[in-house]
Amino acid sequence: MKYNSSVTKSRKKNRKRYFQSSSADKRKSMISPLSKELKFKYNTSALPIRKEDEVIIMRGLFKGKNGKIIQCQRKNFKVFVDKLVKTKTNKTNAFIPISPSNIMITKLFLSKERKVYLEKKKIEKKVNAYS
C-alpha cells in the first residue's frame, strides 16, 4: 500500500527522473564512500566525488588500482581516473569510465566550498544526535 500519492513505483517514471534530473541532483547521487581514516576525521561515510580526489578502485576489472580523478561526467554518471587508460586500435589512448559507487576516496581535494560543505554536514550530525 502506498502512503504518498506523489511517489511512483513505475520503473519508466523513475528512470525518466533519474536521467532527467538536474546537475545538482546528479552531483548528490554521484557519491563515493570514504576510507576509514577519512570517515573518522570528517565524521561522515560518503561524499560527492570531485575532480582532483585521490581514489582506489574497489570493484571490477581494475580492483586495487589507485589514481586521481581527472574528470566527472554527470551526464553519464561516470568518472575517469588518470592511471586507467586503454589503447584503442588506432593507437590512441582513451580513459576508462568507472562508476562512483565502485571507488573509495582515499584523499580529499579540499576547496573552500568543500570545507564549508563538511562543516555544514558536521553541524547537521550534531543536531540530529541531540534530537
pLDDT in tens, the chain (131 residues): 678 888 888 999 999 998 899 999 999 899 999 999 999 888 889 999 999 999 999 999 999 999 999 999 999 999 999 989 999 999 999 999 999 999 999 999 999 998 998 888 878 777 777 76
In a domain, 12, yes or no: no
CB atoms within 10 A of CB 5: 6
Secondary structure class of 104 (helix, strand, coil): strand
Q: The CATH number of the domain where 75 resides is what?
A: 2.30.30.30
pLDDT of residue 99: 94
In a domain, 10, yes or no: no
In a domain, 3, yes or no: no
Buried b (16+ CB within 10 A) or exposed e, 73-99: ebeebbbbbeebeeeeeeeeeebeebe
In a domain, 6, yes or no: no
pTM, full prediction: 0.83
Q: Could you tell me how many residues make up the chain? A: 131
Residues 6 or more apart whose CB falls under 8 angstroms from that of 125 comprise 43, 44
Reference 34, options 11, 15, 50; nearest CA is 50
pLDDT of residue 131: 64
Give the CA dihedral 43, 45, 50, 52, nearest 10 degrees.
70
Q: Report the distance separating Cα 106 and Cα 36, nearest Å.
A: 9
pLDDT of residue 71: 93
User: Where in the sequence is the domain holding 92, given as residue range(s)?
Assistant: 24-130
In a domain, 5, yes or no: no
Number of domains in the chain: 1
pLDDT of residue 127: 76
Cell numbers for 109, please give them.
581535494
